[in-house]
Amino acid sequence: MGVREFSGALAIDQSQLRELLGTAELRELLDAASLADVERELQHLDPRRHAASPDALHDLLLRIGDLSLGEMAARLPSVQ
């Protein structure tokens, strides 16, 4: 099985998921605080995920996209 076939097999079919879980909205099934934590991590706003080097900042910008100077500063370790 190739990578595409494997990743396709892992993809979640939304209609099947709805059938299994019922009509409740998916976000109702998830803890709001947990979602906020995951969002902070994915956006590199969690200090554990800050860009620690110029290369890490470059990679972060490639993943997230364009950021303002203030948005970049929020994703860098604070200088003390």
Average pLDDT over residues 62-68: 93
Q: What is the pLDDT of residue 69?
A: 94
d(CA 74, CA 80): 15
Residue 63 lies in a domain: yes
Is residue 7, in this structure, part of any structural domain at all?
A: yes
Would residue 44 count as lying in a domain? yes
Task: Please state the rounded mean pLDDT for residues 52-69.
Answer: 94
Residue 80 maps to a domain: no
Count of residues for the chain? 80
Which residue did the predictor score with more confidence, 7 or 62?
A: 62
> Tell me: the pLDDT tens digits for 5-59?
555 555 667 777 677 766 666 667 778 888 889 899 999 999 999 999 999 999 9
Output 40 or 79, whichever has higher pLDDT: 40
Q: What pTM, to 2 d.p., does this model score? A: 0.59
Q: From the CB of residue 75, how many other CB atoms can be counted at a distance below 10 Å? A: 20
